[in-house]
Amino acid sequence: MKILIVYYSKTRKTKEIAHTMANELADGNEVKLRRIKMKGERNLLATYLLDTKKAIRREKPEIEVIDFDHRKYDLILLGTPVWSANPAPAINTYLDRSDFRDKKVALFVTLRLMGGEKVVKLLTEEIEKRGGKVTNSVIIKTGLFHEKRMIEEAKTFASKL
């Protein structure tokens, strides 16, 4: 199977999860990893202070060029952290530019505490509007006390796809 793993990550938890899933799926599949980047990315403090609003308003900030084509893949894994109970804003821009026609999509959403179900629902609606089908989803808690479990959950999720 040809698999594309697309994600946004600010503090590298979603990135670590994406890479764990890529390793888990590498055997017998062709896996490509792509990170969505916001243009003019701010430091973490400024992100909390300024970009949180963008998440709440579901803004679509400028992102770096998307250099992949969904049509080449059988399965797409999409990952985002939860920001104020919403997807990271860069993901809104990515969704807006994407065609998911006849594509299977699996979602992985990372968070500290809450807002994951809402984000899964939102992403599912956006993907289905664009012709895709969300077949699986997982919400993974990150942070100091969840490190080991976070990796285990990522492996388990990927192994069942």
Ligand X SMILES: Cc1cc2nc3c(=O)[nH]c(=O)nc-3n(C[C@H](O)[C@H](O)[C@H](O)COP(=O)(O)O)c2cc1C
**14 near ligand X (CB under 6 A):** yes
29: contact with ligand X by CB under 6 A: no
Q: Does residue 78 bind ligand X (CB under 6 A)?
A: no
Kindly give, in sequence order, each residue whose CB lies less than 8 Å from that of residue 79, ignoring residues fewer than 6 positions away: 5, 6, 7, 8, 9, 14, 17, 18, 107, 108, 109, 110
- Cβ proximity to ligand X, 33 vs 85, nearer residue: 85
Nearer to ligand X, 15 or 104 (CB): 15
> Residue 81: which of 56, 116, 57 has the closest Cα?
116
Closest distance of CB 4 from ligand X, Å: 18
Rule CB under 6 A: say whether 83 interacts with ligand X.
yes
CB of 34 vs ligand X, minimal distance in Å: 14
Q: Which stretch binds ligand X (CB under 6 A): 4-12, 27-35, 57-65, 90-98?
A: 4-12
Question: How far lies 38's CA from each of 22, 33, 66, 83, 142, in Å?
Answer: 22, 17, 11, 14, 22
136: contact with ligand X by CB under 6 A: no
Indicate whether 139 belongs to the interface with ligand X (CB under 6 A): no
Following DSSP, what letter does each residue of 25-75 receive, concatenated? H-TTSEEEEEE--BTTPPPHHHIIIIIHHHHHTT----BPPP---GGG-SE
Binding segment toward ligand X, per CB under 6 A, in 66-74, 75-83, 94-102, 126-134 = 75-83
Separation of alpha carbons 153 and 28, rounded Å = 21
Binding footprint of ligand X, residue count (CB under 6 A): 23
Enumerate binding residues for ligand X (CB under 6 A): 9-15, 47-48, 51-52, 81-85, 110-115, 142
